Structure 1
């Protein structure tokens, strides 16, 4: 892993790549860059610093963090060595059908013959229900190959995201795309998930919904139920910005066999009395209001990373990739966000890690079903 916070994007990219490589040859690069550094010049500099003939995927973020700290810049994670293989795919936004994008993104699995496999996805949280992307990728990967990753960020500006891609000598910078990397290894991968939220109050049944939009809860207009149960002013939905700030840290939890998946509520329609989340909430599902446990949400990044590392306890992890929700710093506050980063560093020492604040987190394995929010997902590589 290499990191640079140099002001010039190209210089930062080259420096981070050289630091990650340490004179070695990489098979694949994974690049996380702040919106200010997500430029074609940065991507070209990273690719050139690795020799100009290397697989590369990456995306813009809402902030990055590493073993060395947080800050706007570029992170390069370099993977390679004996027993490691990879194959990458990209789907531009202009051809975007999210289910088909997931199928394409996971298609590199056809090139990977290895004992241990995983598909790393870098989606785009602004392009609709990314659960459809996960469903498409699952159609290819099946139950035996985990899916993991996150959705590109735009520094919470809602202006659009960028993805960096190379299948070798080519190089593309794409807006609002979907990328996939099928990765194989002779050593295992580990996945960890944590969020630090718990359910409160009585459950509600989703009696009418479509995708991420919830029309009815317990047979009543969803917005009315949401405002009443959360104790919000009745006219809150008339101000979209105020509703967004209020609702993003007052999520719903979708019942799963192993716990609750978080569903951020980000929008309301006062006319049709609906509320909208960032991922599918199916009809018939049980949902609860969720409350944060302050210590557990601080520890969520560390807990996810440790769980990923411990799941491959028979070998030592070489590094960990961390995908942390961009809304969590809003719930934590600046001081606790820094404390969470410190606890992550302490928990993983001396294992290096690179991560970013994402517009949605991806984990599809037996204990997790796809898209997550206000959650931390970690991938340990051995």
Structure 2
């Protein structure tokens, strides 16, 4: 494990964006345990979620098809700061009809079906960069640190990752930037929840 702490008297800005759009009505988590959701609106979570997405029949039972299809359809969790997303493509329980979201999803939470594509993910890259810079106020940015998700990398592919870098460079506008792909991102601008999936997090330094 490697850890680093950055301290400064100068302003720092955080930008968070994912590009996934909510679909249909919100659902209530009616039974969960840690990261596993058993029921949504008192129905088996896997089936309720897939119906909300109008998923094809093979996704209901085939792990390979489920993972492929769900990479662009994460679970949205309502927070004070907006809708955060959880990558549930890797941990379905087809026998018990539950879904797993990587981090705790509490009973009573409002959740959404979401969707997106490489274009919406790339648009979110620019939003996250600009939000981070804007949070510096009048301070001049001197660098950006970017943390993008491996889940987004899988959606973008090799060419898309190249364009992701180009979008960051565009918003950086000549200042240095560096970053890497992660397995989950931790960042918050308000509230206590800060774990994200399939999201770009940007730290702007001044």
Normalized against structure 1, the TM-score is what? 0.50
CA distance in 2, matches of 1:213, 1:236: 19
CA distance in 1, matches of 2:117, 2:71: 16
**Does 2:33 correspond to 1:210?**
yes
Q: Secondary structure at the match of 1:199?
A: strand
| One of 75, 80, 91 as aligned partner of 1:252 | 75
- Structure 1 residues 276, 364: closer, same or farther in 2, change over 3 A? same
**Does 2:23 correspond to 1:200?**
yes
Which has the larger share of strand? 1
**Does 2:46 correspond to 1:220?**
no
CA distance in 2, matches of 1:270, 1:291: 21
| One of 1, 6, 13 as aligned partner of 1:190 | 13
**Does 2:127 correspond to 1:292?**
no
Provide the residue aligned with 2:125 in structure 1: 301
* RCO higher in structure (CA 8 A, sep ≥6): 2
Q: Which structure 2 residue ranges, 5 or more long, are not aligned?
A: none
**Does 2:59 correspond to 1:236?**
yes
Deviates more, 1:200-209 or 1:226-235: 226-235
CA distance in 2, matches of 1:250, 1:379: 26
- What is the Cα deviation at residue 255 of structure 1? 0.9
Equivalent residue pairs, number: 205
CA distance in 1, matches of 2:42, 2:24: 18
For residues 227-271 of structure 1, the C-alpha deviation after alignment (integer angstroms, 9 at most, x for no partner) is 322233445354333322222221111112232010111221122
8 Å Cα contact 2:47-2:60 kept in structure 1: no
**Does 2:118 correspond to 1:276?**
no
Q: Secondary structure at the match of 1:245?
A: helix
| One of 307, 310, 315 as aligned partner of 2:139 | 315
* Runs of 4+ residues deviating >4 angstroms: none
CA distance in 1, matches of 2:153, 2:121: 10
1:1-382 mapped onto 2 (5 Å cutoff): 163=1, 165=2, 179=3, 181-234=4-57, 236-265=59-88, 266-292=90-116, 295-366=119-190, 369-382=193-206
Superposition RMSD on alpha carbons, in Å?
A: 2.0
8 Å Cα contact 2:87-2:151 kept in structure 1: no
* Structure index of larger Rg: 1
Q: Which structure 1 residue ranges, 5 or more long, are not aligned?
A: 1-162, 166-178
